[in-house]
Amino acid sequence: MKLLRHGKDILSVSVENITPFGIWILVSREEYFLRYKDFPMFLDKPVKSILNVKRLHYNHLYWPDIDVDLELDSIKNPQKYPLIAM
């Protein structure tokens, strides 16, 4: 049996814009802004490295070129995660 349509890509993620203040990402139809103030690990990184993002699990994003792992909750609520690992 062959399916006629593909299902929705529930693990989609893409970088939509890189600004002087942070990065806009789209995660399954929801847009998030990662301010460099909260996520300095992206500051001064090559654009190619920032664009290479994977969604490994429902709540887990990974940038392999710069070895950054983030949970969606840390993006939604950065005030709950005051320690920054670099």
Give SS3 for 62. strand
pTM (two decimals): 0.79
Q: How many CA atoms lie within 13 A of 55 on its CB side?
A: 15
Q: What's 74's DSSP letter?
A: H
Measured between its terminal Cα atoms, the distance across the chain in Å is 49
Length of the chain: 86
With beta carbons less than 8 A apart as the criterion, state whether 47 and 74 touch: no
Q: Mind listing the pLDDT tens digit for each residue in 25-77?
A: 999 889 999 999 989 999 999 999 999 999 998 899 999 999 999 999 999 98
What band does 12 get if pLDDT is binned at 50, 70 and 90? confident
Domains of the chain: 13-80 (3.30.2020)
